[in-house]
Amino acid sequence: MMDVRQLWNQRMGAFLKEAVGYSRYIANSGTIVFLVFAFISAAYYYSVLLEKLPRTYPVEWFIVLLFSLLLTGGKIRTFLKEADLVFLLPLEGRMGPYFRASIVYTFVFHALSIFLLLLAVWPLYNHRMGTNAEPFLPLLAYLLVMKLANVVGRWQEQRLRERSARAAHAGGRWIANVAVLSVLFSQGFVLGNMIVTLLFLVVAIFYYRTLSRQYIHWEHLVQIERRMISRFRSFANQFVDVPHIENKVRRRAWISVLVDKVAFVQRNTYTYLYGKVFARSDLFSMFVRLTIVGLIVIGLIRDEWGKAVAYFIVLSLTGTQLSTLRQYYRYVFWTHIYPIPSTARQDAVIRVVFVAMLVQSVILYVAVLVPFTVGWHLVAAPVIGVGFSYVYSYRLLRRKLQEN
């Protein structure tokens, strides 16, 4: 008879072994040094922000938004595989220990995220609340209980077949989390909030117990696991070649049409190819996310040095992420028999990365101008943007391509 808990331990162990193996390459790439530098810079400007921020500024709503998203979101790691649809699905009635282990595993990792986020916003929370701030440990314990309830609820929602139904349930949980957290971070552990929280939990227990009577949506769980593994390997692929990466292609006609403007000549074959890859792959989504985050962060910073540092950090992160463009079509046979010089592939990757970083530097410059105050940063930012985009693409990235 199969021991399903032992099976889960084996699969979890295999994933952790793979993750630890790739983490060595990530650590040796200089990323840790960069993150330490970014952390020190962020900590400094965080302290400057606290000194200038009025105590009456309603930062609790920002804290509520962050924690509500963290409590509501998150995927359940099950380590399921395609073959399980054939071999494990008939054993669904005996899979309880397997899925309970998945819930505990997911909760532990999310609990760490909650601890780190609370640690990060703690100075901001104390600055706003002053002597009315609740102690750290009771606040952490309360948030962890809420997260456990959300993880269990999320698991039961995975039984639903319709995507819209799962989204509606997640939306309902988010509204409930916002309602409870808004009282918690503005008034503390008041009796009314505790009663409402308890009522939410009781109602949730009875409601989600009815969902637990439905069969598990195995296909959906397998798809989630495939996406999470693919996301992890795509990240690791920035530092070392990772085999068997699954890349989802999206049409995105509105941006892909810009690539069609490339001159239709032989020397632009790879430029056209990698331009389409950038437009239709997850790289473009990453590019948009980093650009939006960069606009918000740079726009909120008032110090000239802070704007320049944040501007450089966002461009650096984008360049690092876009460097994975070189891995696409690298092992596809047909692209190696084109009657084109072997250096054309490298030149095309460099050209696409340079253009993308240049576009982002222009967009981010809008945030540098907010609020408009005359200073050296207005001239320095474009120089940093154009200069770093060129140096990274045509010097650092070219060297990396030649080494590989």
At 336-395, the pLDDT tens digits run 667 777 778 888 889 999 999 999 999 998 888 876 666 676 777 788 888 989 988 888
Q: Indicate if the pLDDT at residue 320 is higher than 70.
A: yes
Helix axes 136-157, 191-211, angle to 10 degrees: 20
Question: 8, 242, 210: which is closest to 102 by C-alpha?
Answer: 8
pTM over 0.85: no
Other Cβ atoms closer than 10 A to 98: 24
Q: Indicate if the pLDDT at residue 11 is higher than 80.
A: yes
Average pLDDT value for residue range 229-251: 69
User: What does the chain come to in residues?
Assistant: 404
Provide the residue type at 13 as one letter.
G
Q: What is the dihedral of CA 379, 382, 387, 390, to 10 degrees?
A: -170
Q: What Cα–Cα distance (Å) separates residue 339 from each residue in 242, 260, 336?
A: 28, 21, 9
Token pair in block for residue 173: 């949980």
pLDDT of residue 319: 87
Average pLDDT value for residue range 143-158: 93
DSSP state of 76: P
Provide the residue type at 361 as one letter.
S
Helix ranges (H only) for 53-162 are 60-72, 84-87, 96-129, 136-157
- For residue 264, count CB atoms less than 10 angstroms from its CB and return exposed for 0-12, middle for 13-18, buried for 19 or more: exposed
Average pLDDT value for residue range 311-333: 79
Q: Quick one: what percent of the chain has pLDDT higher than 90?
A: 30
CA distance 385 to 397: 16
